[in-house]
Amino acid sequence: MLSFYRLLVPAAAFSLALLSPPALAQSPNPDDLWQTRCAGPSRAPETLTCEASQSVRVKDSGQIVFKVDIIYPSKNADPILQMQAPLGFFLPGKIKLAVDGTPMSELEVGTCDARGCFLSARATTAMIDAMKAGAQLQIDFAPVADKRQMIEVPLTGFSRAMTAIQ
């Protein structure tokens, strides 16, 4: 019961924080918003898994609110959009993604653990192209039933990041 309590208190506190929008932290340099990395058993391009990611954090605590990754698996597999979301939001509400107000995708939670909830979907060419051309990725979620909230993630530097990992 103690471990459940340790998870419940931060989740409840985060849920309350979502009801009033937290001050979010971003990198002061727009080119640093989307980070890239590649790793694999060798340096051969077909063995590398590469990703571009951005984390939106609560300014005061540094806690991750949302983390968005575009992952290119090794062996030229289809790219994946993966997200880490906070504990304590209304799971049946799903997470809706849009670029500059144009709906793009609706994601269901795959799993949750002490770090948060995780969602993934195939990153289509249309999705990546929209993100390259757009200014803001909107993450629309429900902190509680019958209430939705949106967080905007800047897409500044996304095209550069995609070029670096493709």
Task: Write out pLDDT tens, residues 77-101.
Answer: 899 999 999 888 888 888 999 999 9
**For the chain, which domains are there?**
2-165 (2.60.40.1880)
Backbone angles phi, psi at 85, to 5 degrees: -120, 160
CA angle 21–23–27, rounded 5-degree value:
135
The CA–CA distances, whole Å, from 142 to 21, 84, 145 equal 13, 15, 6
pLDDT tens across 22-36, in order? Answer: 454 444 455 568 999
Tens of pLDDT, residue by residue over 118-164, are 999 999 999 999 999 999 999 999 988 989 999 999 999 999 999 99
Q: 11-15, 91-95, 103-107, 158-162: which has the minimum mean pLDDT?
A: 11-15
SS (H, E, C) 133-149: HCCEEEEEEEEECCEEE
State residue 59's pLDDT score.
Answer: 83
SS3 113: strand
Residue 66's pLDDT band, with cuts at 50, 70 and 90, is: very high
